[in-house]
Amino acid sequence: MIRVDLRLTSWIVIFTLCLAGLPLPQTFAADSAQVSPQENAQLLLSMMTPEEKVGQLLLITFRGTDAGQDSIIHDLIVNRHVGGVLLKRENDNFVGPENTVQAAWELIRQLQTTEWEASLTQEINPDSNSVSSPNYIPLFVAISQEGDGYPYSEILYGLTQLPNQMTLGATWNPNLAQQVGGIVGKELSSLGINLLLGPSLDILEDPNPDDTGNLGTRTFGGDPFWVGEFAKAYISGVHQGSSPRMAVIGKYFPGRGSSDRPPEEEVATIRKTLEQLKQTDLAPFFTVTGDAPSPDATIDGLLTSHIKYQGFQSNIRSTTRPISFDPQAFDQLMSLPAFEVWRENGGIMVSDELGTRAVRLFFSPTGEVFNAHFVARDALLAGNDLLNLGNLVGSDDSDPYATILRILDFFAVKYREDPAFAQRVDEAALRILTKKFEIYGSFTLENIVPAEEGLQEVGTSQELIFDISRQAATLISPPASELDNVLPNPPGLQDQIVFITDAYTVKQCSVCEEATVLGMNTLQDIVLRLYGPESGGQTTRRNLLSFSFEHLQSMLDRGINRTEIEFHIKNAEWLVIAMLDVRQQRPLSIAVKRFLNERPDLLRGKNVIIFAFNAPYYLDATDISKLTAYYALYSKTPQSVEVAARLLFNEIRPLTGALPVSVTGINYDLFEATTPNPQQTIELFLGSSPSQATPAPEETTPSPPPSFQAGDLIPIQTGIILDHNNKPVPDGTEVRLILSTVGERSVVLKEIIATTTGGIARATFPIETQGNMVITARSEPATLSTAIPITVEGERPTPTNSPTAEATTTPEVTTPVTPVIFVGSVIDDNPGNVSRFMEWLLAVLIAFLVSWGAYRASVLLGQVRWSLRIAFCVLIGGLLGYIYIATSLPGADWFLSFGGAIASGVGTILGNGLGLLAALLWKRNGV
């Protein structure tokens, strides 16, 4: 019995030593740092059924806040494996104005918990015959939250009331956009939202207030460079604020800034070639995809627009299908270098809503037959990975739920029958799963659902918003230089002020209480709080009166001397109008233009001030000429209204804000405004970096000009070149650096064209001519610059042909591509493990052969009792010798070489010898 125990113990020791020498394959773990999100997604995809795969492709909507077992959304998650939901105000997914944030968190937790509980058991749905595998995959929970409340933010209450994108653009400070993005990411991820449909990357190139498709304040502005800068900063902020638990989807690819109608109503056509799109509309998309400077600034996905392009391929008679359904145009766009790299790195494409009236009219102009499942198929085959179904209803379906079931069944059947379609589904599902792994790392419920305690910090960032509103405030008319002459003093104590506000009400849900977007008394109340009897006494309550646009329209409709508002306007010294957008769909919004055109008599002898709490371009030149001052605040947040009140009383001045879009009413052209300011003097410095740069010497400097030798290279850089708004010019602005002779008849010797980065241009001048020279710069229309005088002497001595002076060529170092090796179903990304496995196998083989030889020799010598002991000692010694050599070699590269293999074999044999010696000593001592 003792002999058996010794043998068993020996084999255990041998087995342990063998494992110590073998590099073990990695085990699958979703949160393993050595397994990439794509590898995790690939492994998970291989375990999914066709029904689960096609379910991941859908982003669906549902009504209400009930996600219980009897709800439609519960069925779609548990039995139909849908991969994402889009929460919308119009579907009553939120409550308010009280308890909005808490209720949203509870709904999202319930949705994710439903998916988690469904994954714990494997069951067959008798209705659909679909099999559920026990894989928990978190839902995408999406939202559009563009800022400035209604109508482009879904959650109206409880969150920090953030400004819209144009407000940020008017600050010309991308750092503020990053801070706002941080708030968005932090607050929405605290609710459990992980997919943000925004920001808009569109260029408002030529805003037309009469276009119903005008994006307005939903964009950062009209300059491609600055829109890209703000987009990078905003996206970085969202990623950092969510830590990073949120995917950001940029809208509306490849750009709908030139659209003349809303894509929800009709498919618009834009006349632009691909080359034109690359210069303007696509530029911000390049900036946040393949050209992004960091992973944080890289957008996760792009939302494709339902827009056709005429002349896309330079044939003006050729028009694409809507990009969201056109695989040829889509592939042509994705083949552009920036997008190609981005797609290879996992960028996802999301379709715009497929249930819009525009899509329905495109596929079914007569409205008779509308096959929704074919629409979804076409969107997928065009290149969209995630299909935003929205309120999609087929002509043969009773409601969106029936349409979703039809699409899922159609896709699952086609997956099994059509290999090409199955490949497209797998490709899209892999991208979606990879993105979810990038967000969460591991799929556990504790990792997906945020802690409830995080809600305490939601809605607490109002101070930053006031600073943004102050920096964005823009004086549209008159010019800033004339403001003190036009408005030398604020309203006096006895001055009567009439406020007229474009106020209207909204609801968070269909059964929620109404609330005003911009209350009729809001501006008056803030003025009283800041400047009333209890705060400095600059005005009194009896001198302040407020009316709405409804009152104004009533006055215009009823005629002269028939309304109270007309009486008070006549007696007021100040008339302050708070306007929003001007749209035919909202007749009351037109009242301000009617008032300026129909009753100019009421404007005479008054200070007429208009604050635009939306886009700044709704008034024309004639309208503006009747105003004393016209300000743009861009957003209607409480902070923006407070800034307006402080502007009215001259407490703050609009010094930093500048229009980010063209405004024809004052002949403000954004392209011209962003060119170099001709009034500036461009500074020049010697040196190629700020630490090396030395300014051009002043005229009073007695020191001689810098001296150089012919053949030298002189690094030159400019200071920050400013545009007409005193902001840095866009990157890529051309600057001409000129080297010329000194004297009455100056001769230009050399001219180099450089481009700006961060407003600064850099270049290196090769000097070939001797004499006194001067370097200047110009960047049209800025023609003035400081001058750098230089003296160029004889050429430097030519190096002799000595060994130390010979030119050497540094060979180009090429980094080899590391192959990925698959071990079973587990991925091993270390190719060295294969070489080490072979060496381990060689060492074990040698050790066993020598051990077997020692065993046979012992038997032949009559030492049967000691034969196994000697064999074990020889085997253990050989393995220990291999382990010693393998772990003590100084370099892994040498170890993996042929010499390393020989050394491992020799070490094993020496170990065998030591083991044999130990066994003989053991036997001699009689143990």
What tens digit of pLDDT does each residue of 3-40 get? 434 444 444 444 444 444 443 333 234 444 578 999 99
Residue 132 to residues 49, 139, 266, Cα–Cα distance (Å):
8, 16, 40
Burial letters 911-924, b for 16+ CB under 10 A, else e: bbebbbeebeeebe
Count of CA atoms in the C-beta half-sphere (13 A) of 570 = 11
What is the spatial distance between Cα 878 and Cα 866, in angstroms, rounded to a whole number?
A: 18
Number of Cβ atoms within 10 Å of the Cβ of 296 = 17
Judge contact between 154 and 90, C-beta under 8 A. Answer: no
Cβ neighbours, 10 Å, residue 599: 15
CB-based burial of residue 351 (10 Å sphere; 0-12 exposed, 13-18 middle, 19+ buried)? buried
What's residue 124's pLDDT?
42
Parallel/antiparallel/unpaired status of strands 514-516 and 707-710: unpaired
Residue type, 698: E
The model's pTM is: 0.81
Two structure tokens written together for 209: 């207030």
Which residues are CB-neighbours of 908 under 8 A, at least 6 positions away? 842, 843, 846, 847, 850, 878, 879, 881, 882, 885
Whole-angstrom Cα distance, residue 525 to residue 497?
Answer: 12
**What pLDDT does residue 696 have?**
54
CB contact set of 648 (below 8 Å; sequence gap of 6+): 490, 491, 527, 576, 609
Alpha-carbon span 40 to 29, nearest angstrom: 8
Contacts 24+ apart (CB under 8 A), 437-441: 437/30, 437/37, 437/38, 437/40, 437/41, 438/37, 438/247, 438/300, 438/346, 439/194, 439/244, 439/245, 439/246, 439/247, 440/138, 440/245, 441/30, 441/31, 441/37
Specify the pairing of strand 771-778 against strand 574-579: unpaired
Residue 896 · residue 832 · CB < 8 Å: yes
Phi-psi domain of 272 (left: phi exceeds 0; alpha: psi -120 through 50; beta: other): beta
The beta strand positions in 742-886, using DSSP E, are 748-757, 760-766, 771-778, 788-795, 821-823, 826-828
Strands across the sheet containing 734-741: 694-695, 684-686, 713-718, 760-766, 748-757, 734-741, 771-778, 788-795, 707-710
Q: Which helix (H) or strand (E) holds 339?
A: helix 337-344
Cα separation of the two ends of the chain: 18
pLDDT of res. 888: 60
751-775 pLDDT, tens per residue?
Answer: 999 999 999 999 988 888 888 889 9
Q: Looking at 172-263, list the stretches that DSSP marks H as alpha helix, in order from N- to C-terminal side.
A: 174-191, 224-242
Give CA–CA dist 75/81, Å, rounded. 9
> Please, are residues 227 and 170 in contact by the beta-carbon 8 Å criterion?
no
**pLDDT at position 528, please?**
96
Question: Consecutive sets of 10 residues in the chain, 927 residues long: mean pLDDT of each?
Answer: 41 44 37 76 94 97 94 94 96 94 96 84 46 74 96 95 97 97 97 97 88 85 96 98 95 84 79 90 96 96 93 81 94 96 96 93 89 96 96 93 97 97 97 96 91 92 93 95 89 96 92 90 96 92 96 94 93 96 88 95 95 96 96 96 96 93 95 96 81 53 73 91 95 94 84 94 87 92 93 65 37 35 34 54 74 73 66 73 64 46 65 68 62
Q: Find residue 903's DSSP bridge partners.
A: none
Please state, in angstroms and as integers, the Cα–Cα distance from residue 5 to each residue in 12, 334, 851, following that order.
11, 68, 20
The residue with tokens 């929205």 is 390
| Both structure tokens of 1 | 């019995």
How is residue 235 written in tokens?
């996206």
CA distance 7 to 1: 10
Residue 106: CB partners within 8 Å, gap ≥ 6?
none
HSE of 774, CA atoms in CB hemisphere, 13 A? 14
**Measured between alpha carbons, how far is 51 from 61 in angstroms, rounded to an integer?**
19
pLDDT given for residue 655 in this prediction: 85
The type of residue at 383 is G
List the one residue out of 173, 347, 157, 162 whose CA is nearest residue 241. Answer: 162
Cis peptide before 252 (omega within 30 of 0): yes
Strand order in the sheet with 629-632: 474-477, 629-632, 607-612, 574-579, 497-501, 544-548
Region label for 726, one of left (φ > 0), alpha (ψ between -120 and 50) or beta (otherwise) = left
Burial code of 16-27, b = ≥16 C-beta within 10 A, e = fewer? ebeeebeeeebe
Give, for 108, the enclosing helix (H) or strand (E). Answer: helix 100-119
Query: CB neighbours of 834 closer than 8 A, spacing ≥ 6?
Result: 821
**DSSP tag of 356:** S
Cα separation, 382 vs 467, in Å, equals 44
- Judged on CB neighbours under 10 Å (0-12, 13-18, 19+), 741 is middle
